[in-house]
Chain A
């Protein structure tokens, strides 16, 4: 069943690429941009899958991406090293995730309200931070030597642009899938979301499980944000997240909390972003379709995909509900 839909998806994808080649758009360029656009979505989505499996919702991914992107640049400039910047962005994300985890467990917070607060905070904090640290409104372009590298792999007459972080995020999705299905820790995580009473009785601390997953979720979203500014866009603007945190949430719900499938949807949405960027610069298309319409493509695709996929999905029973320890 899964194999058949996988083959159908791959066939459809190949047909779309052929169609674009026919229109004179390089599919190599489309796919490498799609993989770059996939990476922050996939990282944030994988983290949120684990988080929601344990019963905690975090709709603040967009804010964490934004703060991760900004603080990632700060860290990279501080250390003079792009990888340190990625790590720094991830750690800041982890701290925000940890705070959300503590509020959601010990604080028994309304998780949706708390994490929307994270978004609103980020939308105000980032422009403030840009101004306070670099004294320039809304944007920071760091010196090239502190960026993390993108590899150019020669392919025929052009290059295939690739980042090892993309590769790592795909491997991570596979590993976390195994962790969830095959390990005792995965069982605890799933139980924390399905029946927290049961593992509480079994002597496992529900709060610790949920705080751990919330921290991991924040860490991955923070890394995704730092990836955007340090690898992909080579700088940060105050709107860099552009709703990607919510597209990542769409990956999570469309996948029915499956890390590998969520990564697949991240690729689909990343691909639609790549199509938008390509349309915006392709002669013949850019004159006929207004630039602003082209940029609605990823959001429309997300809306349609979620609408189609959602019907079949079920979610952990205790998702979003604060648990009171016995």
Chain B
């Protein structure tokens, strides 16, 4: 059983990585003649500057916390599930099919449609995580390759669905929406925050408890630290790979489902997939900044959610393209990959 403790050194190292990412991106901003101070002012003001923006940030964080926990859970077990992106796309489709299409075809099901939508997103997410799980467990196919291929297959398949069979006849730029009863209630004063955030928080806490208190969680962590040690201590490696992937796929699918059931105003997927794209890839950043600890991931999810939210102000007010926020995340991840360097810097700073 793991004791709950604050990893002070880890927090300091993460802060250094965040600062390194911001410093490096300032250089990028300066190189093209923009003002980094203005860019970061609007980025952080837009993300965290007022109560309203803070609420919107929590809205953007809602699926990011889940994709972060999904990636982090696998990462704890030594699995690099970059398929969170595609699993989330499929989860969104699951929500639309079970929470939009089904209740409209069978109106008596309407009161259950939120449960149906979330169940659909879980099933679709798991279904998309199973092939890479089985390929890794039984054939040794590296999950980075299989999951990225499945991401692209999901991308094309979902584009086909939202522009074809699932298109909204009256608004062809998006898919059909989930029915009213499959929508989380909107928090007053916010444009995007709904009670769906409670689902994300609960999932993060449950995953934390799973990892720290249960035998399965222990076995996942042992497998992550050393496959050989896990095998010697009697852990069934294939079982751990498959279970980790299934849980991760369920969380990713749920993330996609919450983009549909928990984000106003459209409650649907855009035909460009613009409102879901990158939630998986940014979830990798969320997980790594949160050091794969589900409770810390809640905070890092809010941080990245703030970057998403703030970048909408950064673009019009400072001229810096909103996608720069993704470059910042990438630089932070690169900085986080060199723990020894961070350790040295933090030691030097304390002296």
Interface residues of A (CB under 8 A from B): 59, 63, 103, 107-114, 116-125, 127-133, 137, 242-243, 246-247, 249-250, 253, 290-293, 295-296, 299-300, 302-303, 306-307, 310-311
B-to-A contact residues, CB < 8 Å: 28, 32-34, 80, 82, 135, 139-142, 144-146, 148-153, 156-157, 159-160, 163-164, 278, 281-282, 284-285, 288, 320-321, 323-341
Instruction: Knowing A292-B157, A307-B135, say if A125 contacts B327 (CB, 8 Å).
Output: yes
Tell me the bound Cα distance from A129 to B323 in angstroms: 10
Indicate whether A253 sits within 8 Å of B321 (C-beta atoms), given known contacts A114-B337, A243-B152.
no
Given that A124-B327, A290-B164, A295-B156 are known contacts, is A306 also in contact with B141, CB under 8 Å in the complex? Answer: yes
| Contact between B331 and A117, CB atoms less than 8 A apart | yes
How far is it, in angstroms, between the C-alpha of A290 and the C-alpha of B278 when the chains are bound? 25
Q: Are B330 and A119 in contact (CB under 8 A)?
A: yes
CA distance A55 to B324 in the complex (A): 32
Which residues of chain A have C-beta atoms less than 8 A from B326's C-beta?
Answer: 120-121, 123-125
Q: Which residue of B lies closest to A254 (CB)?
A: B145
- Establish whether residues B157 and A124, one from each chain, have CB atoms under 8 Å apart when the complex forms: no
Residues of A near B139 (CB, < 8 A) are 307, 310-311
Q: How far is the CB of B171 from chain A (nearest CB, A)?
A: 20
Cross-chain contact B149 with A116 (CB below 8 angstroms): no
Shortest Cβ-Cβ A-B pairs, 6 listed: A124-B326, A121-B330, A124-B327, A117-B333, A120-B330, A117-B334
Given contacts A292-B159, A306-B145, A310-B140, whether A124 and B324 have CB atoms under 8 Å apart is yes
Contact between chains at A296 and B145 (CB < 8 Å)? no
Determine how close the nearest CB of chain A comes to the CB of B301; give it in whole angstroms: 16
Cβ-neighbour of B321 out of A113, A131, A292 (below 8 A) = A131
Cβ–Cβ < 8 Å partners of A130 in chain B: 321
Residue B142 contacts which of A125, A253, A296, A299 (CB distance < 8 angstroms)? A253
> Chain B nearest CB: distance from A253 CB in Å?
6
B329 touches A124 (CB 8 A): yes
Candidates B145, B325, B341; contact of A124 at CB < 8 Å: B325
- Please determine whether A112 and B330 come into contact, CB atoms closer than 8 angstroms: no
Q: How far is the CA of A302 from the CA of B330 in the complex (A)?
A: 27
Contacts of B328 in A (CB 8 A): 124
Which residues in B have their C-beta under 8 angstroms from that of A311?
A: 139-140
Indicate if the CB atoms of A123 and B156 lie closer than 8 Å: no
Residues of the B chain whose Cβ atoms lie less than 8 Å from the Cβ of A108: 338, 340
Majority-rule SS of A interface residues: helix
Distance in angstroms between the alpha carbons of A246 and B157 in the assembled complex: 19
Instruction: Judge whether B340 and A246 touch: CB under 8 Å.
Output: no
Closest B residue to A122 by beta carbon equals B330
CB atoms of A103 and B334 under 8 A apart: yes
**Distance, CA A307 to CA B145, complexed state (A):** 10
Contact B334 A112 (CB under 8 A): no
B149 CB contact (under 8 Å) in A111, A119, A128, A299: A299
**B330 adjacent to A123 (CB under 8 Å):** yes
Which residue of chain B has its CB nearest to the CB of A126? B323
- Contact among A114, A121, A128, A290 with B320 in the assembled complex (CB-CB below 8 Å): A128
Which of A103, A124, A132: most chain B Cβ within 10 A? A124
Task: State how many angstroms separate the Cβ of B179 from the closest Cβ of chain A.
Answer: 26
Distance of A39 from chain B, by nearest CB (Å) = 20
Other than the known A131-B321, A310-B141, what 8 A-B pairs have Cβ atoms closer than 8 Å?
Answer: A108-B338, A113-B337, A124-B328, A127-B321, A132-B34, A246-B148, A249-B145, A293-B157
B305 → chain A closest CB, angstroms: 16
Report how far A128 CA is from B140 CA in the complex, Å. 38
Question: Which chain B positions have C-beta within 8 A of A117?
Answer: 330-337
Q: Taking the nearest CB of chain B, how far is it from the CB of A302, in angstroms?
A: 5
Kindly list chain A residues whose C-beta atoms are within 8 Å of the C-beta of B145: 246, 249-250, 253, 302-303, 306
